[in-house]
Amino acid sequence: MSLPGEMPSPLRQLVLWDIDHTLIETRGVGGDIFKRAFQEVTGKGLTRRADISGRTELDIMRESLAVNGMEPTNELVARLADALVDGYEARRDELGQVGRVLPGARETLAELADEETVLQTVLTGNLRSVARIKLEVFGLDGFLDLAAGAYGDDASDRAQLVSIAQERASDRFGSTFTNDQTLLVGDTPNDIRAGVAAGVRVLGVGTGKTPSADLLNAGASAVVDSLVGVSARVRRRPTGGTGWLA
């Protein structure tokens, strides 16, 4: 309880970042690693592609196997996941040279990392190990509490990842993050729908294939065309009114 004249207690925020096309782009390296892992594990080419936008990795793997005429058994999916992680490990240098950090992403992460009241982590369809490699390659991992994140190997339904991240973050921070204190940032309608289904705020970033206007239509609380200069909007104001993202 705050006494008269005392500053209000800090409002804690949990910020959940999507990775691909929100923070970074692999510019084809990620797709090629998947293609090679698929060939290596199944002995067949990836002739038909699953729609991957905003989906979780295990989900993409199952569909990729199915559309290419194979039974997506747990054993095959697990082998594909291992081959994928090995592929990313082997091609770290290439990923760093060909891929890039999207404009404003590093600065925004750095500014929010300086805020004591903000805990930021990832909510991504990537496998945990792949997410870590991508973030390490581009030097973004230090800004994020990756132990609090939720990943493509935690659940195949992206909306479920929100509560998983909230629970992990609450354990790490020692206090609960409510939906009102949680912001998800992503570039696809699947990101937006996951956040809306979970009941948290969602910031859409028009840096992927989906224009900002379509992200707003999908239910984003707000949209931006890039992450340049957005940390001030993401930070929660310790006042009443319309709150953050206003």
Residues lying near Mg ion in the complex (CB under 5 A): 18, 20-21, 187
Residue 50: C-alpha distances to residues 47, 62, 63, 80, 161 (Å): 10, 9, 6, 15, 21
Closer CB to Mg ion, 18 or 153, in the complex? 18
Type of residue at 229 = G
How many residues comprise the chain? 246
3-state DSSP assignment of residue 114: coil
Closer CB to Mg ion, 41 or 227, in the complex? 227
Q: How far apart are CA 144 and CA 159, in angstroms?
A: 20
| Least distance between Mg ion and beta carbon 33 (Å) | 16
| Least distance between Mg ion and beta carbon 53 (Å) | 7
- Beta-bridge mates of residue 24: 20, 101
Q: Which of 155, 226, 169 is nearest to 197 (CA)?
A: 155
| Least distance between Mg ion and beta carbon 120 (Å) | 16
Cite the beta strand spans of 1-63 per DSSP E: 13-17, 24-25
| Least distance between Mg ion and beta carbon 66 (Å) | 23
| Least distance between Mg ion and beta carbon 78 (Å) | 24
Closer CB to Mg ion, 111 or 187, in the complex? 187
Q: How far apart are CA 73 and CA 55, in angstroms?
A: 19
| Least distance between Mg ion and beta carbon 187 (Å) | 4
Closer CB to Mg ion, 64 or 126, in the complex? 126
Query: Interhelix angle for 29-42 vs 57-67, to 10°?
Result: 50
Closer CB to Mg ion, 57 or 187, in the complex? 187
Type of residue at 220 = A
Closer CB to Mg ion, 21 or 236, in the complex? 21
